[in-house]
Structure 1
Amino acid sequence: MNTKLYCMAALLLVGCSKDPSAINGDEPGQWGNQPALPVVNGEASFTLNAADDYVNVMENATPQMPSFPALTPRKGMVRGYVADLSGKPLQGAYIGVRSTATGGFYSGASDETDANGYYEITVPWGAAEFYAAGYTIDYGRGRALMSLAAADGKLGSFPSADGLVKNFVLLSYGTYSKNLAAQKPRDQTNYAGGSFYITYNVSDPTDYYIPPNYLVEGSEIQITLTPDGPGFYGETKKFVINKKVSLQNYNILIMNVPVGTYTLTAKMKDGKPLQLEAVGRYANTSPYFGLQPGQATGSAKLLFTPDTASELAQVLPSRSNWGTLQIKVDRME
């Protein structure tokens, strides 16, 4: 397997090698029996009050991690496995490590997993950390780069001389770090699922003139996400979000949605459909992702939009690489 070197303002590049026969009796092992995939089905409903501006639809649900073959640390080396939730090893996943000793200079090295999902990297000397962990999936009619999660939920610096075993898993939803999510619960990058904004204009019902497309304060809208089929790990759960419109905020962040394809429906509480339009940074950036079509009445297809990282070496570990599409809703005139 070819290995790659990566360097940021480095004076020295340190290579890495993969020779399982040289692991002193601790060779990469075979994958054993795996826990059953979590069942994510049924329907979940949420009611947001005037002050509420976000909802985490999977809340605190975190999938059970797969069972990885055992490894022991080796000095000067980081190694481990990458798998999906079913325990299937993932070939071609990218893992990057960088180290710094003095003066802020970084040296880095990387590897891509083999057919057994195994990687190993000789770590440059100094205080080391993971700078990238990503995998490419087929999604809809396109391809998307997804972040890999540390299976133990922990990421941080480590002494390169001590060595480390770190396994990664590909999640379709869930919390990367419970500590970070507790500090920033409305930061969508803390969750593996997809996200999007519903935005709108709001008018005061006492105003002399109310633009016909504005939502009126105190009215209620309903946003529904219906899976078009099983998600990445077979998820079929439907989500219904009821929101009371208020001048306090002009958008709703809907996040941590299991990766899949959905039909998004938007209507007033009385059943009148709303106009939908993709707007903002991620609107119409790809023919394969986002709102399809970009303008619609009542409902449209929704695929989450990958962020702008165009190479696996740019995908941060345990941090969502999904962009947050903005979808503007208007009353029909």
Structure 2
Amino acid sequence: MMEVVPENAPEHCPGTQSEDAGKASACAGCPNQTICASGQIKEPDPDIAKIAECLSHVKHKILVFSGKGGVGKSTVTANLGFSLSSNPEQEVGILDIDICGPSMPRIMGVMNEQVHSSGYGWSPIYVEDNLSIMSPGFLLSSPKDAVIWRGAKKNGLIKQFLRDVDWGELDYLLIDTPPGTSDEHLSIVNFLSKAGIDGAVIVTTPQEVALLDVRKEINFCKKLNLPIIGIIENMSKLVCPKCQHTSIIFPPTAKGVDGMAREMQVPYLGDIPLDPLVGKCGDNGKSLPHTFPTSPSAIAYKNITEKVQKFCLNNVAPTSEDTIN
């Protein structure tokens, strides 16, 4: 009998016909584990085609990853969205699937909004005329509520966001994911398998303890054949808002983010300084690129956004010359 390997199976998958199907160490954490252990071959998920149809009017879909939490991934996603929407001719959406820590409504300044449903599905919340957002935070009765869900319920909400949100026509959809490489990451890649993903942007801070997890994130992308648009070095240095003096807060102990990117053969998109204005804008729900357009951080976001757009429009990764700020 022909050996069947499930879609998006982990490395060293024993296959559905093996006696170890669903029981081997490689099966741990795989979304197909239960069905493989039962000896049944999982039928293709019909919702994957529905998701592709729903997102057929979204030109570019970008996942934002981080190996470790606390590196500013959601803040980077929000400001990339603000930077992209600076062009009034571009329609931009942000999908927050960080289900246990949905901070995007606060960062985007739409914390008290509620999601409305129509015959076309859920309507996203509009931050600006050409910038919309959908987040689990809008579904909570209070911002203090804890989301205590197992993987299956999380995956169900992610599928519902992809299948039932009426985004309309978008040029860019940024998807803010939780830290790490868990069920949500496997699910989002699987659910978008027919809709198409331009690639992933990975956010990190300069410390070696953060880079250890970034290497795992890079290998995760490579195993799933997910293109890597590039790595962003966040909070790389402190820029004083008054005198513009630069201080290195996290000096690299090895090759640094740029060196690690070269070592892992992935593009380096650039660095964003540790700027008090970024935290101020995030806490108050303001756009950094719009509120402080001449700040070092806003300029860094502008440069990185141009590289991301270049990749999406031409499917060309940044070159070594492009990464020089």
Q: TM-score range, shorter-chain basis?
A: under 0.3
Question: Taking structure 1 as the reference length, what is the TM-score of the superposition?
Answer: 0.23
- The structure in which a higher percent of residues are helix is 2
- The structure in which a higher percent of residues are strand is 1
